[in-house]
Amino acid sequence: MTGPSTSPDSRLASLREALPTLRVSVHVADRIAYARDLWPGGQLEKLAGRFAPEPPLCVVWPTDRSELVRLVAWARERGTALVPFGAGSGVCGGTTAGAGKVIVDLKLMDSVVRIEPQNNLVRAQAGILGWHLEDRLNEEGLTLGHFPSSLMCSTLGGYLATRSAGQCSSMYGKIEDMVVSMEVVAGTGEVIETGRDMGGGLGPDWTQLFVGSEGALGFITEGTLKVHPAPEHRVMHGYGFERVSAGCEAIRRLMQAGLRPAVVRLYDEFDSVLARSGAEKGSEADSLLERITGQVKGRGALPWLKRRAMQVALSRPEIANRVVDELAPMVSADGCLCVIGWEGDRRMVDAQARLGHEELMRSGARDLGEEPGWHWLRRRYAVSYKQSKLFTSGAFVDTMEVASTWNRLMDLYEGVRKAIAPFAFVMAHFSHAYPEGCSIYFSFAGSASDPVEARMRYERLWSAALAAATRAGGTISHHHGVGRSKAHFMTEEHGNSMLLLRTLKSTFDPDTIMNPGVLGVGASGAP
Amino acid sequence: MSSRDNEQQPVSAPYPEITAQLTEVVGAENLSSSPVDTIAHAVDFWPRKLMETRAGRWHRGPRWVVWPGAAAEVAHVLRIASTYAIPVIPYGGGSSMVGGASPRGERPWLVINCKRMCNILDMDEGSMVVHVQAGVVGVELEERLNARGFSLGHVPTSMTTATLGGWLSTRSSGMLSSRYGRISDLCLGITAVLPDGQLVHTRVAPRRATGPELMHLLLGAEGTLGIITAAHLRLHRLPLHRQFDSFRFERIDEAAEALRRSITSGVRPLVARIQRDPRLRRSDRDPDAPVPDAAALARRVLLLAFEGPAELVEAERGVVRSHVAELGGEALGQAPARRWWGQRFAAGFRMTPVLVRENSFADYVEAGVTWAGLAGLYRAMEEAFASRGWRTRLVVEHARMEGVSLGCAFWGDAASPQEAVASYDAAWKVAQQVCLAHGGRLGHVYGGGQHRAVLLDEWGKGRLELLTRIKRKLDPAGIMNPGVLGTEP
Ligand SMILES: Cc1cc2nc3c(=O)[nH]c(=O)nc-3n(C[C@H](O)[C@H](O)[C@H](O)COP(=O)(O)OP(=O)(O)OC[C@H]3O[C@@H](n4cnc5c(N)ncnc54)[C@H](O)[C@@H]3O)c2cc1C
Ligand SMILES: Cc1cc2nc3c(=O)[nH]c(=O)nc-3n(C[C@H](O)[C@H](O)[C@H](O)COP(=O)(O)OP(=O)(O)OC[C@H]3O[C@@H](n4cnc5c(N)ncnc54)[C@H](O)[C@@H]3O)c2cc1C
């Protein structure tokens, strides 16, 4: 193996020699554009002047598996790290390159291989964008049922690699429930079909062992997934709960009653204000602040206080969070908003919607009618793909999604909230519910006097929040993944079952060329 | 003794020393080398071994059976086994139909019987999650859960024999799998002891996105990578409203299509089975009954059970009925399905009377197949067995979005014990060929053990090769159930 010490030029030359037909770019614009994903910490680094401190060696666009196999062989020989790249919508530094690495963009491998309506299956290449795949299926009267907010800017391979979860996960399942098999080009260069049309064969379920591997074991090149008839009927409804704990209890009972709602979302006191609002444009956090200040104004504060209030709120989050706690009942007169949606076969939808409604009303819900439900549905992809305007004013925004069984959920909620509170303004919603537990999605915004301090504050916030989640017995990520940003916390998350992950890594990527550092395996983790 | 055994296990292996060490760990009352115990652990439910036993060929039992009481003891025992390179069989209920839990060859086997580890460690009723030790027998667990108003929803026919650890290690699929999934779908996390004695515990969350779900390395590994000692499982609440329906179709094709459309519409039946018309039973028993014609033989019934809130159950039944009507099915009411439900555990053991008959042979082929491939596989299987004079009973079960499992019980009589075994092997060859030609995936329910691995196609063998590679890393001494699932003997 030739070490990475050889010059970039000689490595590029050898790459071109090994794969003469491979599309390669060494253009500075590409290398900078591909240097980071949407991890907000990367945004802060840029503001602190580290724009693309370690740009990748190059970006390549393979067109088929055999090219990938040869690329892997070349990388093993040259000791060069490969970074699988879907659409870069990851929010944990999963595709953050690092000097000398090769970014492998899979978006040219984006065809729907076949649709088997009789078997309720679709086979597609990994580089296809989520909404393109969904569009193709819709043409056949089918749906995958996977609707992450990032549907338009993320790929099938990305979903499978990060264990993505969509907005209708309670009904259609998460990506690992949908996939029955994947084709993987492993870090050894071998092509592995993990399952088959009828799932795994004898022995361990390899599909489940490659789902969530974040590029650390190999490239996911194709997937076979279950599909459903496009829903013929949909019922959307809003409910109000006085406190978030009461809402959680109601959702627990709903999920344990044997019903399968498509959408279950509960917003805490402040997130509710936001969820009810327009907020068609801009990031959640931007409009959050508009709302806080707007609502305060609406309740009699002087208009010119607005800007000032925003700044104070963010630089003194512990006070802002407390003020919000006090204001909450006043600001959101309807309490916590809960959106429930049902879809599918008309008869089953109607029966479930009725049963669900009764169950929620028995749990003390206030009936808010259909409109809040439809309002949510219209805005389901209205999150911004642009980074928040707030960043340019020295502030930061980010999200953290955790989960636990019901018995720990309120401790997890309070614990993480308290951990974030000294550093940022924080709010939350509960968006993926299970009979045995629920996820919590925290959004937070903080500020500092300068980018360097912002970065420090941001890091301290994350350390505190991750520790709080683990302490409360929750997982540190429900669906965003680990990437590099949470890699240092994998041992806390998994204890000594990390041993099993390391075994997988050394088996399928013996030379640690595959996205080293993600998931806390391979090389050093810092993004 | 084979040459391999000589290499690994010098003739002067310090058996008394090993026995002493094991005794120290588990206590004298929990270790046995007595004939009673070793004979009891010499065979499992693999029909081929039962047939050999019937013909007078006794199988050598293990040298030791131990009953550890806790994971820490399992860890000690495995460390001893590693030190002396003693092959180990993790043993649950011994209901393996494929030789996964019985010793093979002449080596000095150590059976680790998990049944003493059978306690419920914790029950979180609010989250409907139970933490339970893996040696618990299925029916005992279910009864204890029922007493507290819950059910696991995992009901294989071997419920009264099999243990949780056996289920997890074979990724077992029960008769309620269309609604509740396989045991792996009900499992949220496990505790396992690796061959070097290390304890791993996969933490519990309803779901996480922190890398691959690591418990899947041990689920389905059939004891080749470690011993599962406890698990967290999802529960369901009792009492549940339950209803049944039965329909008759002229052919398997329409019966399957009605079921496929129902599942595709989002119906999640508690039970869904397609089997032969029960009216034929009369002609089976009564030699004077008229011989059924081809049309009668082709007819199939779809038996369904539903569970859940009453209104939803009624909606599901309505959806099914409309699909059935479109496909020309005839409604038979609740009775046939209810009757099946009443005898649901008896069915699995009907093989026993066949097998006690001298020179008979019998087994159960289970193959996964997509909906599109089902009718073709079904007919091919039926014809291939019938043309050789072997009796069969085919059942479609474990229905899900993309397909089903085709079960084919076969049996016949041969002229001698040797011929019975030869016919048994020939029948499996036939099943293998039919599956290869018609897209059937062998080993869909019972696991691989010593048997199915050799029947797999290239793809299937490739998966087992991956397991072997993992095994070399986690079990360098090769002590964990060697030879099972195509791993090195
Ligand atoms: C506005 C916004 C909203 C979001 N909403 C959701 C949501 O609702 N639900 C959700 O789950 N996520 C959400 N995300 C996160 C993100 O979209 C998901 O993680 C998505 O799965 C990433 O897909 P991608 O194609 O962009 O992958 P990338 O960001 O390109 O890559 C992510 C990781 O997967 C690896 N990878 C990508 N493709 C492959 C492949 N083919 N083979 C092997 N490894 C590969 C990469 O190396 C990297 O480690 C959101 C992100 C944004 C920005
Ligand atoms: C009449 C009959 C009906 C059956 N019906 C069904 C059915 O409906 N569905 C179905 O799925 N199966 C069925 N089976 C097969 C069998 O019951 C299952 O494979 C079951 O999971 C085995 O459980 P056990 O506890 O008996 O395991 P064993 O037979 O003792 O062992 C099975 C395998 O698991 C391993 N193992 C056992 N416990 C552990 C542990 N704690 N840790 C690690 N490895 C372990 C063993 O080494 C062996 O490889 C049936 C069997 C019979 C005889």
Judge if B297 and B254 occupy the same domain: yes
Give me the total of CB pairs closer than 8 Å, taking one residue from chain A and one from chain B: 260
Tell me, in angstroms, the distance from the centre of ligand 1 to residue A451's CA. Answer: 26
What is the least distance, in Å, from the CA of A177 to any CA of chain B? 9
Instruction: Give the domain CATH number at B400.
Output: 3.40.462.40
Judge if B226 and B126 occupy the same domain: yes
**B318, A347: Cβ pair inside 8 Å?**
yes
Instruction: Give the domain CATH number at B210.
Output: 3.30.465.10
The sign of the torsion formed by the CA atoms of A450, A452, A453, A456 equals positive
State the ipTM, two decimals. 0.95
Judge if B19 and B91 occupy the same domain: yes
The residue behind tokens 């003997």 is B489
Structural domain contains residue B203: yes
B252 token code pair: 């398997």
| Nearest-angstrom CA–CA distance, B379 and A73 | 46
Could you say which of A403, A482, A490 has the minimum Cβ distance to residue B205? A403
pLDDT at A305 (0 to 100): 45
- Which of B185, B210, B237 is the last residue before a domain boundary? B237
**Which residues on A lie below 8 Å from B481 (Cβ)?**
none
**Which residues on B lie below 8 Å from A257 (Cβ)?**
309
| Nearest-angstrom CA–CA distance, B165 and B135 | 6
| Nearest-angstrom CA–CA distance, B297 and B346 | 24
Domains of chain A: 8-107 (3.30.43.10), 112-229 (3.30.465.10), 233-471 (3.40.462.40)
| Nearest-angstrom CA–CA distance, A19 and B350 | 62
pLDDT at B325 (0 to 100): 98
How many angstroms from the chain centroid is the CA of residue B158? 8
For range B385-408, the mean pLDDT: 95
pLDDT exceeding 70 applies to what percent of chain B?
A: 96
**Which residues on B lie below 8 Å from A407 (Cβ)?**
124, 126-127
B388 touches chain A (CB under 8 A): no
pLDDT at A199 (0 to 100): 73
pLDDT at A391 (0 to 100): 72
How many angstroms from the chain centroid is the CA of residue A268? 20
**A204, B467: Cβ pair inside 8 Å?**
yes
Provide the 3-class DSSP secondary structure of residue A458.
Answer: helix
Structural domain contains residue B6: no
pLDDT at A331 (0 to 100): 52
Mutate to test the interface with B, among A118, A150, A181, A202 (most CBs of B within 10 A): A202
**B470, A519: Cβ pair inside 8 Å?**
no
Judge if B331 and B389 occupy the same domain: no
Query: In this model, does residue B12 exceed pLDDT 70?
Result: no
pLDDT digits (tens, 9 = 90+) for B468-483: 999 999 999 999 999 9
Supply the range of the domain harboring residue B475.
Answer: 15-115+457-486
- Which of B300, B318, B343 is the last residue before a domain boundary? B343
- Which of B211, B237, B263 is the last residue before a domain boundary? B237
What is the least distance, in Å, from the CA of A116 to any CA of chain B? 9
Structural domain contains residue B333: yes
Q: How many CA atoms lie within 13 A of A55 on its CB side?
A: 16
Residue B226: nearest ligand to its CA?
A: 2
A290 touches chain B (CB under 8 A): no
Q: Could you tell me if the CB of B117 is within 6 A of ligand 2?
A: no
Judge if B183 and B264 occupy the same domain: no
The residue behind tokens 């508009």 is A290
**B209, A163: Cβ pair inside 8 Å?**
yes
Structural domain contains residue B1: no
Query: What is the average pLDDT score of chain B?
Result: 93
Instruction: Give the domain CATH number at B107.
Output: 3.30.43.10
CA dihedral A112, B260, B410, B335 (to 10 degrees): 170
Tell me, in angstroms, the distance from the centre of ligand 2 to residue B447's CA. Answer: 8
How many domains is chain B partitioned into structurally?
4
Hey, what amino acid is at A15? L
Structural domain contains residue B5: no
Q: What are phi and psi of B98, to 5 degrees?
A: -130, 15
Judge if B60 and B131 occupy the same domain: no
Q: How many CA atoms lie within 13 A of A450 on its CB side?
A: 3
Judge if B293 and B362 occupy the same domain: no
Q: Could you tell me if the CB of A11 is within 6 A of ligand 1?
A: no
Judge if B179 and B131 occupy the same domain: yes
CA nearest A487: which of A93, A45, A56, A81?
Answer: A93
Instruction: Categorize the per-residue pLDDT at B17 as very low, low, confident or very high, splitting at 50, 70 and 90.
Output: very high
A200 touches chain B (CB under 8 A): yes
What residues are paired with A429 via a beta bridge?
A267, A441
For chain A positions 389-408, those within 8 Å of chain B (CB to CB) are 403-407
What is the least distance, in Å, from the CA of B242 to any CA of chain A? 13
Structural domain contains residue B450: no
Provide the 3-class DSSP secondary structure of residue B462.
Answer: helix
pLDDT at B4 (0 to 100): 41
pLDDT digits (tens, 9 = 90+) for B46-101: 999 989 988 888 888 999 999 999 999 999 999 999 999 999 999 999 999 999 99
Structural domain contains residue B10: no
A490 touches chain B (CB under 8 A): yes
Provide the 3-class DSSP secondary structure of residue B207.
Answer: coil
Judge if B315 and B393 occupy the same domain: no
| Nearest-angstrom CA–CA distance, B166 and B443 | 15
Q: Which residues of chain A have pLDDT under 50?
A: 1-3, 279-285, 291-306, 524-527
For range B148-157, the mean pLDDT: 96
Structural domain contains residue B452: no
A150 touches chain B (CB under 8 A): no
Q: What are the residues whose beta carbons fall under 8 Å from the beta carbon of A471, sequence distance 6 or more? A: A415
Judge if B105 and B174 occupy the same domain: no
CA nearest B263: which of B323, B182, B212?
Answer: B323
Judge if B302 and B223 occupy the same domain: no
Judge if B252 and B319 occupy the same domain: yes
